[in-house]
Every structure is written in C-alpha cells, then in structure tokens.
Amino acid sequence: MSLLHEPISDIHKRLVAKEITPTDLVEESLTRIKKVDGKVQAFLMVDEEGARARAFELGERVKSGETLSTLSALPVGIKDNMATKGLPTTCGSKLLQNYEAIYDATVVQKLNAAHTITIGKTNMDEFAMGSSNENSGYYPVHNPWDLKRVPGGSSGGSAAAVAAGEVAFALGSDTGGSIRQPAAFCGVVGLKPTYGLVSRYGLVAFASSLDQIGPLTKDVRDSAYVLQAIAGHDAYDSTSANVEIPDYVSALTGEIKGLKIGVPKEMMGAGIDPGVKEKIEAAIRVLEGLGAVVEEVSLPHSDYAVATYYLLAPAEASSNLARYDGVRYGQRIEGENLLDLYHRTRSEGFGAEVKRRIMLGTYTLSSGYYDAYYLKAQKVRTLIRQDFESIFQDYDVILGPTTPTPAFMAGEKVDDPLTMYLNDICTVPVNLAGLPAMSLPCGRVDGLPIGLQLIGPAFSEANLLNTAYAYEQHGERLPKLDLEGGEA
Amino acid sequence: MSISSTDVKHIANLARLTLTEEEVTNYTSQLNDILQFADKLNELDTSDVEPTSHVLPLVNVLREDEVRPSLTREEALKNAPDQKDGQVRVPAVFED
C-alpha cells in the first residue's frame, strides 16, 4: 500500500495538519517507483532531483504559513507528449529521444501554479498511436493487475502509475480513447473533457480535431479536483473554448434522482464480452436504485465510427508529423543530401505503427482519394455527431462499457492492426463528436478491472462527474494494489 | 479500391519514408485490410450531409500585431541537431 493510494483530499488534510510534509510525499512516490516500476514500466523518466528540490521549496512555504491549494505537493505523472520545461518530452518516440522541452504546456503551467510536483514523464504509445502501449519506442508498460496483460493505450503509463500508487494522479491525452481505455484496463478513473475545455498548448499534436488532455485519478472526486485546475480558456490555443468553468467539486452531491440515462443498444451488443456486459448491467441497477431512469437508446451510425476514426485521425497525423524531419529538433540521421536526410531520419526514427498511420493518412489525403476517403469520413462524422445530439435531446447521460473486453494479453493483437483498432469501438465515437466522457471502475471479471463509460453533452462535465460520483458511492470498489510482494 | 506495392512505395516517398521490402509487403496487406474495412462507409448515402472538420463553431482568433516576449534564439536552437552562427545547419539544397 502507498500513501498515494489515499484520496487527494485526505492527503491534503494530513499536509495541512503537518502530519506529513511535501518531502514525505515525494519520497513516498520515489520509493514506490523504485519498488514497483521495474515491473510496471510506467515511467520513461523520473526527475528525482527536480522533485526533491520542488518538495523542499514547497515545504518552506508551508512552514512560512502559506495557504496551499488542494493539489499542493501532490506527486504527479505527466504523459510524455506534454511539454515540461527542462525535462525530456519524447512522445514515446526514438525520434525525440534527446528532445528537451523549452517551455511548459499550459496544463503543466496550471498544475505548477496549483503547487503540484512533477515526478516524471509517463510511458506511452509512440506519438499516442496505440491501444496497448506496445508501440512505445522504448519499452512497453505492463498492467499492474496482471503484468502479462497490456495496460491499454496510449496513456497506459499514466493509468498504470496511478493504479500502482506511484503518483497521486496523472495527466493523459485522449484522441480516440487514450485516457478512458487505459483507465478501464487499469481500474482507475479517466476523464476526457469536451473538445476545447482544456488547453492543448504544449501537447504534441496527433490528430488536432480530436486530441484532448484529461486527468487519470484514483477516484471521481480527485478527477473533479484535477479538472478544476486544468480547465479554462487559453489564448495560446485557438481551439480552446471560452466558456465559464463551474465548480466541479461542489457539483458532487451524489443526488441523481430523475436523471435520464440512455444505454445505446449498439454498445451492449454481440461484440461485448458477456462478463463486461454483466458488470455494466449491475452498474445500471445501482444507478436505478438511486432514482435514475435508464432506457435503451440507439446510436445508429456507431458501426461506422471505427472506420471513420481510422481515416480521419491518420490523415491529420500524417500532416502533423510532417514536422519531424531532423532539421530543427529531434534525432537526425545524416544523408547524402537534404532529401535523403529527411528519409533516413523519419524511416529510422518512427516505429511501425506510426509509419503505418502516416502511410494511411498520406494515401487518403492524396490526389484522387481525398473525396472517397477523407471527405466521406468527415460527412459520416456529422452523422455520428447527430446521433448523439438526438439522444441528448431526451437524455442527460449515455452509459455503456468503455471497452468490449477486459485488458488483453501482451502480444495478442500486435500483428493485426485492424483487430487492435476494433478495441476502440466504444470510445472513438465520443472523440468524433467532441463530447466529454469518463471511464470509472465497475468491478472485475477474472480479477481484471472493467470500465463503465459515461458520456454527456458538450461542457456537461459537472453532471458527468456527479453521475460517476453517485455510482462510485454505491457501486463496486476495487482493492488497492500492493505489488511489492515479488512477482505478480 | 485496392492498393498495390507500387502504390505503397509511391505513398512512402510522398511521406518521406524509405521502406524495406518487408515493410512494403506488410503495409500493402495491412493498408488493404484497413481500406477495405473503411469501404463500409460507402453503405451510407452522404450526398446531402455537410462534412464536420471540427466540432466547435470556430472562428479566426485575431489580435493586434504587437511585440511580445518570445523564445530567445538560443532557446529556439536548443534542440537543433546541427547549428552554426545562430542558425540551423542542413546539407546544401542547391548544387554548386
């Protein structure tokens, strides 16, 4: 057990009561990482020196009587696709192995302002492309619940670090499920905010019309605390929404009487593992017991979402990743001339999945194929969005599983990209529609955590969090992972 | 539509990638699988549907053109693999 398994508000109370110091928290995190990260491999880089210095500085401020925010002194993991000044930001890619960020992403700046302590950078699928973390350019992350299984991806390092009690919380990014799917596989809470709610300045771009940063936390209240700290308009991100940010924490009343929940029949269909389905049905009964009205609804175009996503996201990626040419930053492989330098740098630097998606995106955007693939997918995206809009005229929340199965075995799908992509079937529609959604644990099947997914209308995070909170208070809870007793 | 190994080599060149023969073989088969899967979108009649390029009603974000603090040249060059005289250095683009 780790002190970092405790809820944020409990840790904060201890800090205020001076039972513990910021240094205690950092040492707890570093010790825990030493004990378990050899097995989990959630981190690409741990900044021991920086974290200790920061803890000392915060400790002095506590001593001088400064009032600290709720997130003060919490050890945090930052997914390695977010810029952290003076620390490596590799995106899980060999191509960026020597890259050191020269500024802080807005989310990192905001966390620093809330007095958190960055412990290190978490492992991820290269350029956030993957659902298993097997595409990390360095080493794969292992699922803390069963080290032979994948933690999900692409924010697998962030999810595993939280589940293993290595940090108090972590940030991830979600383009097609990359926060929610690893949250489900690792038994933690993952929130993908509405597109535009959280600034993406300093987030390495994958698919710009879909990417969003969000928290991975131990519980729902923690998620509200972190979202509160990172949400808000940012002049440095022109896609950032200028909306009023409500008080997410005080929205957690647990009161959901009369809440209308729609369960899309397509998300409970044949492709869903019976064990997963059973857990989701049990969660529905818990919510009904609290006074929610749950009815079956339909997302008629959800069957087209994976195809739409895997045309649009690679197209955007092929364009975004054109910048990695070995000229201004990153690894350079010298060549006979400039063109040869580009070719060598990119061919050696990018891993197989990244190349595959660049190829796919380049093809669908190339002359003669644009209308047939890219434009067609953009049109189907409209239909998928309208499916959600029509349900939200009558319902407050959509509910279903986050993933069709529990965490799968490492190596199981790695040679078959299409099968891997189909694992994203429950999560990608949400990104295509730009909606907020979260995954929270709703029990286990064969010892592996199952994720309950809640989806809401744009900017309804407060209601989404409260619905999740209501379930969490009365639903199935997971034990905390020890991991220190030899091989799991 | 199906994609040949010649197509794959052509796309790789457009994307500034050099593929091994093994990669060409793998990507030809994998891209065909994915594109074949994507063909299911043609089941839908979208002739009257507007494309969605973005979910938010975005407009241009403009501001006065004024001088603000920015990265120093030193910072901007910090990650450059090769530099000379405060500039990024690359192999010559033009022949002598």
Interface touch A382/B52, C-beta < 8 Å: yes
B17 min Cα distance to partner chain A (Å): 5
Interface touch B61/A100, C-beta < 8 Å: no
Whether pLDDT at A1 is above 80: no
Q: How many helices (H) and strands (E) does chain B have?
A: 3, 2
Q: Which of A78, A189, A92 is nearest to A140 (CA)?
A: A92
- Which of A445-465 are b and which e, b meaning 16 or more Cβ less than 10 Å from the residue's Cβ? beebbbbbbbbbbbbbbbbbb
Whether pLDDT at A486 is above 70: no
Among the listed residues A2, A93, A155, A178, the single catalytic one is A178
Q: Burial, A382: exposed, middle or buried (Cβ in 10 Å; 0-12, 13-18, 19+)?
A: buried
Range from A167-171, A350-354, A417-421, A437-441 carrying the lowest mean pLDDT: A417-421
Q: Helix, strand, or coil here: A231?
A: strand
Neighbouring C-alpha atoms within 13 Å toward the C-beta of A59: 14
DSSP state of A235: T
Residue B35: its pLDDT value, please? Answer: 94
Whether A79 is catalytic is yes
Residue B96: its pLDDT value, please? Answer: 63
Which residues of chain B are within 8 Å of residue A350 when distances are taken between CB atoms? Answer: 17
Can you tell me which residue has the tokens 């210095």?
A53
Phi and psi at residue B51, to the nearest 5°: -70, 150
Spatial distance between the Cα atoms of A454 and A477, rounded to a whole number of angstroms? 17
Q: Furthest-apart CA pair in chain B: how many Å? A: 58
Whether A260 is catalytic is no
Question: What tens digit of pLDDT does each residue of A427-485 get?
Answer: 999 999 999 999 999 999 999 999 999 999 999 999 999 999 999 999 999 999 988 87
Average pLDDT (A484-488) is 56
Please give the residue that has the higher pLDDT: either A320 or A421.
A320
Residue B8: closest CA among chain A residues belongs to which residue? Answer: A359
Q: Burial, A488: exposed, middle or buried (Cβ in 10 Å; 0-12, 13-18, 19+)?
A: middle
Nearest neighbour of B38 by CB, restricted to A311, A343, A417: A311
Question: What tens digit of pLDDT does each residue of A353-382 get?
Answer: 999 999 999 999 998 899 999 999 999 999
Whether pLDDT at A313 is above 80: yes
Whether A121 is catalytic is no
CB within 8 Å of chain B, chain A residues 110-169: none
Question: What tens digit of pLDDT does each residue of B46-90 get?
Answer: 999 999 988 888 788 888 999 998 899 999 999 999 999 999 999
Residue A450: its pLDDT value, please? Answer: 98
Residue to test with chain A: of B17, B50, B84, most A Cβ within 10 A: B17
Tell me: ipTM over 0.85. Answer: yes
Among the listed residues A2, A29, A154, A223, the single catalytic one is A154
Q: For chain A, what percent of residues have pLDDT higher than 70? A: 99
B67 min Cα distance to partner chain A (Å): 15
Does the predicted model carry a pTM greater than 0.90? Answer: yes
Interface touch B51/A99, C-beta < 8 Å: no
Spatial distance between the Cα atoms of A290 and A303, rounded to a whole number of angstroms? 32
Question: What tens digit of pLDDT does each residue of B6-52 get?
Answer: 999 999 999 999 999 999 999 999 999 999 999 999 999 999 999 99
Which residues of chain B are within 8 Å of residue A320 when distances are taken between CB atoms? Answer: none
Residue A488: its pLDDT value, please? Answer: 38
Nearest neighbour of B46 by CB, restricted to A347, A369, A379: A379
Residue B1: its pLDDT value, please? Answer: 61
Whether pLDDT at A487 is above 90: no
Query: A312, A380 in Cβ contact below 8 A?
Result: no
Spatial distance between the Cα atoms of A116 and A215, rounded to a whole number of angstroms? 14
Q: Helix, strand, or coil here: B95?
A: coil
Average pLDDT of chain A, as a whole number: 96
DSSP state of B23: H
Average pLDDT (A66-79) is 94
